[in-house]
Amino acid sequence: MEFTELLLNALLAGIMLGGFFAALAIGLSICFGLLDTVNIAHPTIIVGAAFCTFLLNDVFGIDPIIAGILITPLFFILGLGIYSLYYQFFEKQSAEALRGLAFFFGLLFIAEVVMIMTFGVDHRLVSAPYIGNSYTAVLAGMEFAIPYRLLAAFVVASAMAIGLQLYLNKSFFGRATSAVHQDMMALSLMGVDPVMVKRVAFALGLSTCGLAGALMIIVIPIEPAVGRFFIGNVFAIVVLGGLGSISGTLIAAFILGIAESVVSTFFGPSWAPAVSFAILLGVLAFKPTGLFGSGDTR
Amino acid sequence: MRFKFEIGCVLVLLAAFIFTQSGINRFYYFAGFAILQYVMISTAWNILGGYGGYINFGTAGFLGVGSYTAVAMIEFYSAGIVEQIIVAGIIAGVIGLSIGFFTLRLKGVYFAIATLALAIVLETFVNNWDYVGGAAGVSILPPRTPELLGIAIVDRKGGAIFNNNKEFLFFLMAFLAILSVWVARTIEKGKLGRGLNAIKDNEEAAECMGVPTLRLKLTATVISGALMGMAGAVFPSYLTFVDPPTAFNLEFAINSLAMPMIGGTFTWIGPVVGSILLGTVQQVAIVTISSELNLLIIGVLLVFFVTVAPQGIVGWFMKKNK
């Protein structure tokens, strides 16, 4: 019975963790999947949002989730700025896509160093009533425990993902974003400025960093360099889900969450980072279009 | 003259040797070693990144593999430094081959992402591998009187070529750096370099013209990875202590990318200029300001050059002279 109990608990924690991963990856899914801007600084920007949440919580005592909502517009504006730069220097000149990658890598380092110089390298936490306790239930003689912090992350992340999915599928702007992914020329012939659409869509993707950062500091203690360890996770999720598919991203996040949780439970948490890498390489080798993607990977 | 470049190489190596015999302040060895190491790493990076246009973010991973191969060989049978370098090069090359095999058929971004994740996952493996010290790191005792082909290399009491292990390793690093520059230049002038350039310009067109794109990309990845591994193999003997955060430091990744980008990626001299300039600035910055600020400088310079001056310093000068 011991084994089943452990396994079921690992599965449960994995689903919760998957929700959290979805929040981290969903913005990247828009930027990378729909717009082809490979923003490898995405996890680091999330850490930046986590520090903003920390400040709001520490100084004003604001609940981290509300703080996350409050800082979201800030990250929308940041996204507008970053995309304008990116467009000006890379897309407009149709420069090699890889130079853009180097640009984002530079941004990653600048952001990390600025955070180290501002906050130091100590681990930071936030306080909220739901952090630190667990919901426990006994079912069929087995004990289940869900930490409230993971539950909060799961609920908020799911709400965010569903909202984004609806917005992208139903609204004019969301459809324009899919259109820009499929055929930029056709969109401009319809009288829509594709650059404007891309800029706003990128900013939308980056604005998810606000809430994702709040969830990150709820789930784990953070320090400036912690973003690096999520690069493998978020890209594994986006690639596994299939480029440009929000629902695919969600499912992939749950798969990765469960896989990591099971591996941590049975082999020790220090092996967890290897899971995302194995998934990433496996997908690239055998099914580069991902589970639900139709994208062009060559 | 036909062998102008080769004669230059020998002269530089000779200068490095004289430098080791001059008994100058230890700090200059330290700074010089770091710069030479960066010449080697950024030159290696440029073989794939500069000529072929495929960005490798996993420099730290390849270096770390080299370092830990050396550590494992020392632990296993106290191998000599030359064996360590050769085996480290082979293993790093094989890792380059396997990751390239999986991802080089796809768009360049996938290779870039996979290499970045590779660095992190390799660190995880070493963290879990207690034989080489695990997360706590490991101390290396360099042999007191190493010999090479029966010649005494280092002896503190005198009588050997070098009085000090650090001097010997400095010279060795200079040799390896020059070797890498020679390899990169040979590739650039040869068929491989031309093929890689064609891939960078337009991969589909190159493929249509009969360039064996995948094979060339894999060859470049293996050579580049092997050189990085060889550079990493010198690390444990030089530092006498390695732990995963040092060996897999992401600083290597940004430096190996920023130095060629700043110097100029299209010719062998670009990474050399970039690493000497940036390496010197960094050594000064670390001593006088702080190591965080030093990273900030690299990040800002990288973004500046990538956006405003993508042809790098060398390209800028060449344009001016035309």
pLDDT for B4 equals: 80
Long-range contacts of B313-320 (CB under 8 A, 24+ apart): B313/B262, B313/B263, B313/B264, B313/B270, B313/B273, B313/B274, B313/B277, B314/B263, B314/B264, B314/B266, B314/B267, B314/B269, B314/B270, B314/B273, B315/B264, B315/B266, B315/B270, B316/B264
Encoded tokens for B75:
């632990």
Could you tell me which of A59, A10, A36 has the C-alpha nearest to residue A296? Answer: A36
Query: Quick one: which H or E segment has residue B242?
Result: strand B241-242
pLDDT for B118 equals: 86
Domain carrying residue A117: 2-286
Confidence band for B158, pLDDT divided at 50, 70 and 90? low
CA distance A226 to A238: 19
What would the pLDDT profile of A77-107 be if each residue is shown by its tens digit?
Answer: 999 999 998 888 887 776 666 788 888 989 9
- Residue B302 pLDDT > 70: yes
pLDDT for A124 equals: 84
What CATH number is given to the structural domain containing A181? Answer: 1.10.3470
**Structural domain contains residue A158:** yes
CA distance A260 to A277: 11
Least confidently predicted of A67-71, B15-19, B38-42: B15-19
This model of the complex carries an ipTM of 0.84
CA distance A164 to A167: 5
- In chain B, how many domains are there? 1
**Structural domain contains residue B125:** yes
A96: chain B residues, CB-CB within 8 Å: 53, 200
Residue positions counted in chain B: 322
Long-range contacts of A282-285 (CB under 8 A, 24+ apart): A283/A236, A283/A239, A283/A240, A284/A239, A284/B102, A284/B103, A284/B106, A284/B110, A284/B114, A285/B102, A285/B103
Encoded tokens for B112:
């870039």
Confidence band for B9, pLDDT divided at 50, 70 and 90? confident
Round the average pLDDT of chain B to a whole number and report it. Answer: 85
**Structural domain contains residue B297:** no
**Structural domain contains residue B283:** no
CA distance B238 to B232: 10
Indicate the DSSP class of residue B106.
S
Domain carrying residue B55: 4-249
Least confidently predicted of A67-71, B275-279, B293-297: B293-297
- In chain A, how many domains are there? 1
**Structural domain contains residue A77:** yes
Confidence band for B144, pLDDT divided at 50, 70 and 90? low
DSSP A119-160: H-S--B----TTSS-EEEEEETTEEEEEEHHHHHHHHHHHHH
What CATH number is given to the structural domain containing B177? Answer: 1.10.3470
pLDDT for A96 equals: 64
Chain B residues bordering chain A (beta-carbon distance below 8 Å): 53-55, 57, 99, 102-103, 105-110, 112-114, 116-118, 120-121, 124-125, 127-128, 200, 250, 253-254, 257-258, 261, 292-293, 295-296, 298-300, 302-303, 306-308, 310
Q: Is the CB of residue A264 less than 8 Å from the CB of residue B82?
A: no
pLDDT for A79 equals: 92
A134 backbone dihedrals φ, ψ, rounded to 5°:
-130, 150
pLDDT for B154 equals: 67
Indicate the DSSP class of residue B286.
H
Give the pLDDT mean for B155-169. Answer: 73
What would the pLDDT profile of B165-202 be if each residue is shown by its tens digit?
Answer: 778 888 889 999 999 999 999 998 888 988 888 888 88
CA distance B273 to B259: 8
Chain A residues bordering chain B (beta-carbon distance below 8 Å): 38, 40, 85, 89-90, 95-99, 101-103, 105-110, 112-114, 116-117, 228-229, 231-232, 235-236, 239, 268, 270-271, 273-274, 276-277, 280-281, 284-285, 288, 297-298
**What distance lies between CA B231 and its chain's CA centroid?**
5
Could you tell me which of B115, B113, B72 has the C-alpha nearest to residue B96? Answer: B115
SS3 B23: coil
DSSP B134-175: GGG-EE----SS-EETTEE-B-TTSSSSBSSHHHHHHHHHHH
Q: 């990856």: which residue's tokens?
A: A25
Output b/e per residue, B143-170; b: 16+ Cβ within 10 A. Answer: eeebeeeeeebbbeeeebbbbbbbbbbb
- Residue B210 pLDDT > 60: yes
Q: 């011991």: which residue's tokens?
A: A2
More confident position, B152 or B188: B188
pLDDT for A97 equals: 65
**Structural domain contains residue A89:** yes
Assessment of whether the complete model's pTM goes beyond 0.90 = no
Output b/e per residue, B104-113; b: 16+ Cβ within 10 A. Answer: bbbbbbbbbb
Q: Return all residues near A296 (Cβ < 8 A) that are at least 6 apart.
A: none
Q: Which of A113-122, A235-244, B37-46, B105-114 is modeled with the greatest confidence?
A: B37-46
Low-confidence stretches of chain A (pLDDT < 50) are 298
Q: Is the CB of residue A122 less than 8 Å from the CB of residue A225?
A: no
**Structural domain contains residue A123:** yes
| Of residues A38, A110, A229, nearest to B296 (C-beta) | A110
**Structural domain contains residue A169:** yes
Q: Give A7's strand partners.
A: none
B106: chain A residues, CB-CB within 8 Å: 284, 288, 297-298
pLDDT for B211 equals: 83
Q: How many helices, marked H, and strands, marked E, lie in chain B?
A: 14, 4
Q: Is the CB of residue A140 less than 8 Å from the CB of residue A1?
A: no
pLDDT for B125 equals: 85
A58: left (phi over 0), alpha (psi -120 to 50) or beta: alpha
- Residue B223 pLDDT > 90: yes
Least confidently predicted of A203-207, B16-20, B43-47: B16-20
Q: Return the beta strands (E) in chain A as ranges.
A: 134-139, 142-147
More confident position, B150 or B15: B15
B292: chain A residues, CB-CB within 8 Å: 113, 116-117
pLDDT for B152 equals: 66
pLDDT for B32 equals: 87
**Structural domain contains residue B154:** yes
Residue B168 identity (one-letter amino acid): F
